[in-house]
């Protein structure tokens, strides 16, 4: 079969010279896949995504070992913006919109790495609005005054403006009502099906993530303790007991 789009090989992360947080994490994202990275608070999900998109801070003593291949090329020495140019972008946990900018201005900041002109950017803005009609209605609103759901949509929309083929999505459900979580996962599903965007999604909401993902990895204490097709994980008794709250 074809080589995976993204391969993470035995990543270790040490924070601040001493705190070993990832103890050898390996995972794969196939082209066109939706992969869930699951685990409790503090298991290392965010750290894994940051290691991939090179957002850890070497100057503060964060050390990353292992290697990462993307499109068949080793990328673990590339800067976050070089990765964005190659098509890989992270949507951070907590959304990080520019509160003082409007929704539309926030979306346009996502196009900063692009070298193609205004027309293509306008077309992509319309495309983002077609997936998130709510953002079009609210486009002149200051992002800091919009709802949590609108800010999450803005963060995903802004990532789309870089024309990515891979989005690392950190905890999209955080702080959102169940209906909105479902709305966001539906849009992720459509972006995946229509545009072929591949997703690696870190989630504590195991139930929702496994409904939309093809494959899942479970992280405990900095190690992958289980992985498999989403439907298999949903039926697994340990997953049910510890992660789905079904007993």
Nearest by Cα to 93 from 67, 55, 123: 55
Identify which of residues 25 and 111 has a Cβ nearer to ligand ATP in the complex: 25
Piece of 12-20, 80-88, 142-150, 180-188 that binds ligand ATP (CB under 6 A): 12-20
User: Is there binding between residue 41 and ligand ATP (CB under 6 A)?
Assistant: yes
Piece of 40-48, 110-118, 189-197, 224-232 that binds ligand ATP (CB under 6 A): 40-48
User: Is there binding between residue 221 and ligand ATP (CB under 6 A)?
Assistant: no
Minimum Å gap between C-beta 161 and ligand ATP is 25
Long-range contacts of 78-85 (CB under 8 A, 24+ apart): 78/54, 79/54, 80/53, 80/54, 80/55, 81/113, 83/53, 83/54, 84/113, 84/162, 84/164, 85/113
User: Is there binding between residue 14 and ligand ATP (CB under 6 A)?
Assistant: no
Q: List, as one string, the DSSP characters of 111-137.
A: TTT--S-HHHHHHHHHHHHHH-HHHHH
Identify which of residues 46 and 166 has a Cβ nearer to ligand ATP in the complex: 46
Site string for ligand ATP, 129-148 (x = CB under 6 A): --------------------
User: Is there binding between residue 39 and ligand ATP (CB under 6 A)?
Assistant: yes
Q: Kindly tell me the sign of the dihedral angle through the C-alpha atoms of 170, 215, 2, 225.
A: positive
Q: List, as one string, the DSSP characters of 187-211.
A: HHHHHHHHH--EEEEEES-HHHHHH
Minimum Å gap between C-beta 40 and ligand ATP is 7
Of 66-105, binders to ligand ATP (CB under 6 A) are: 93
By DSSP bridging, strand 223-229 and strand 215-220 are: antiparallel
Piece of 41-49, 100-108, 123-131, 188-196 that binds ligand ATP (CB under 6 A): 41-49
Give the interface with ligand ATP as residue ranges (CB under 6 A).
15-16, 19, 21, 39, 41-47, 93, 171, 204
């Amino acid at each position: 079969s074809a080589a995976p789009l993204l391969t993470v090989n035995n990543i270790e992360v040490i924070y601040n010279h001493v705190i070993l947080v990832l103890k050898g994490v390996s995972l794969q994202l196939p082209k066109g896949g939706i992969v869930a990275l699951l685990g409790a608070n503090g298991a290392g999900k965010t750290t894994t995504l940051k290691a991939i998109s090179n957002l850890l801070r070497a100057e503060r003593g964060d050390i990353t070992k292992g290697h990462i291949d993307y499109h068949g090329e080793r990328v673990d020495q590339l800067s976050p913006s070089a990765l964005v140019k190659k098509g890989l972008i992270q949507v951070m946990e907590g959304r990080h919109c520019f509160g003082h900018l409007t929704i539309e201005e926030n979306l346009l900041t996502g196009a900063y790495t692009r070298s193609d002109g205004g027309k293509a950017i306008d077309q992509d803005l319309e495309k983002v609005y077609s997936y998130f009609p709510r953002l079009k209605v609210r486009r002149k609103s200051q992002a800091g005054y919009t709802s949590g759901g609108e800010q999450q949509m803005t963060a995903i929309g802004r990532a789309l403006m870089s024309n990515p083929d891979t989005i690392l999505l950190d905890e999209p459900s955080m702080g959102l009502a169940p209906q909105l979580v479902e709305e966001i996962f539906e849009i992720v599903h459509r972006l995946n099906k229509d545009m072929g965007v591949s997703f690696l999604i870190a989630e504590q909401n195991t139930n929702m993530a496994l409904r939309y993902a093809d494959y899942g990895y479970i992280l405990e204490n900095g190690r992958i303790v289980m992985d498999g097709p989403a439907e298999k994980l949903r039926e697994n008794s340990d997953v049910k007991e510890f992660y789905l709250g079904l007993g």
